[in-house]
Amino acid sequence: MSADIRAPWGLKIASAAGLAFLLVPLLIIFIYAFTTEERSFAWPPPGLTLKWFAVAWGRTDLWSAMTLSIQVGLVSTLIALILGTLCAAAVSQTQFFGRETISLLVILPIALPGIITGMALRSAFSIADIPFSFWTIVLGHATFCVVVVYNNAVARFRRTSGSLIEASMDLGADGFQTFRHVILPNIGTALLAGGMLAFALSFDEVIVTTFTAGQQQTLPLWMLEELIRPRQRPVTNVVAMVVVLVTTLPMLLAFYLTRDGDQIAGSGK
List the CATH number of the domain containing 127. 1.10.3720.10
Residue 269 lies in a domain: no
CB 69 within 8 Å of CB 218? yes
pLDDT given for residue 266 in this prediction: 39
| pTM metric for this prediction | 0.77
Same domain? For 209 and 86 the reply is yes
Same domain? For 126 and 242 the reply is yes
Residue 81 lies in a domain: yes
Same domain? For 64 and 45 the reply is no
Same domain? For 38 and 63 the reply is no
pLDDT in tens, 49-108: 777 788 888 888 888 888 899 999 999 999 999 888 888 888 876 676 767 787 778 778
CB 29 within 8 Å of CB 223? no
Residue 16 CA: distances (Å) to CA of 9, 23, 25, 42, 71:
10, 10, 15, 27, 37
Give yes or no for residue 178 having a pLDDT over 80. Answer: no
Q: Identify which of 69, 103, 71 has the alpha carbon closest to the alpha carbon of residue 217.
A: 69
pLDDT in tens, 248-258: 777 777 677 66
Kindly report the backbone phi and psi dihedral angles of residue 20, in degrees, each rounded to the nearest multiple of 5, phi listed first: -65, -40
Same domain? For 134 and 195 the reply is yes
Residue 110 lies in a domain: yes
Residue 187 lies in a domain: yes
Same domain? For 40 and 151 the reply is no
47 Cβ contact partners less than 8 Å away, ≥ 6 residues apart: 35, 36, 37
Same domain? For 163 and 244 the reply is yes
Domain that holds residue 22: 12-49
Same domain? For 29 and 141 the reply is no
Q: Identify which of 140, 159, 155 has the alpha carbon closest to the alpha carbon of residue 80.
A: 140
Is 230 in a helix, a strand, or coil? coil
- AA letter at 207: I
Mean pLDDT (the chain, rounded): 78
Residue 134 to residue 128: CA distance in whole angstroms: 16
Same domain? For 138 and 109 the reply is yes
